[in-house]
């Protein structure tokens, strides 16, 4: 009887350790994240923005990709003052200065605007609403 109880306890401890190892191996954390999150919604013009490169402070962070039927991507960013940039296939550029705090989520919606370019012509430019 004592041996059966010992085996059950040993099996439960092994299962707990295995669960913890799998959790940590898959990117789990034991505590709150110190990073902030920037969510970018690009559902108004998904064909134009899919594949656009997202940059933070001039460094590439990732590409915008639809996930199932949703056109929203999230990126982790260290707390502080940053400049978010976006480059699309049509070489339009958008810049957005922002500050993010620990654990904060910032939601931005991509849109098109117009600016006066060379020769006085109106040119499309990426804008961030949020």
CA distances from 70 to 42, 46, 54, 74, 84 (A): 9, 10, 17, 12, 21
Pairing of strands 122-129, 105-116: antiparallel
pLDDT in tens, 31-41: 666 888 999 99
pTM over 0.75: no
Percent of the chain with pLDDT over 70: 89
Residue 20 has pLDDT above 80, yes or no: yes
Other C-beta atoms closer than 10 Å to the C-beta of 113 total 14
Is pLDDT larger for residue 117 or for residue 61?
61
Whole-number pLDDT of residue 35: 86
Domain spans of the chain, in order of start: 1-31, 33-129
- Residue 72 pLDDT: 92
Can you give the pLDDT at residue 17?
93
pLDDT band at 18 (very low <50, low <70, confident <90, very high): very high
- For 52-80, write each residue's pLDDT tens digit: 899 999 899 999 999 888 899 999 999 99
CATH of 33-129, one of 1.10.1040, 2.60.40, 1.10.357, 1.10.3470: 2.60.40
């Amino acid at each position: 009887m004592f041996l059966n109880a010992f085996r059950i306890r040993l099996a439960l401890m092994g299962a707990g350790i295995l669960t913890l190892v799998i959790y940590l191996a898959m990117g789990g954390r034991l505590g709150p994240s110190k990073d902030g999150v920037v969510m970018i919604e690009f559902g108004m013009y998904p064909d134009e923005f899919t594949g656009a490169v997202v940059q933070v402070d001039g460094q590439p962070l990732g590409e915008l990709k639809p996930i199932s039927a949703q056109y929203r991507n999230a990126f982790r960013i260290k707390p502080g003052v940053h400049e978010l940039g976006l480059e699309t296939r049509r070489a339009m550029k958008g810049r957005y200065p922002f500050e993010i705090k620990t654990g904060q989520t910032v939601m931005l919606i991509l849109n098109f605007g117009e600016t006066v370019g060379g020769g006085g012509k109106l040119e499309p430019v990426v804008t961030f609403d949020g």
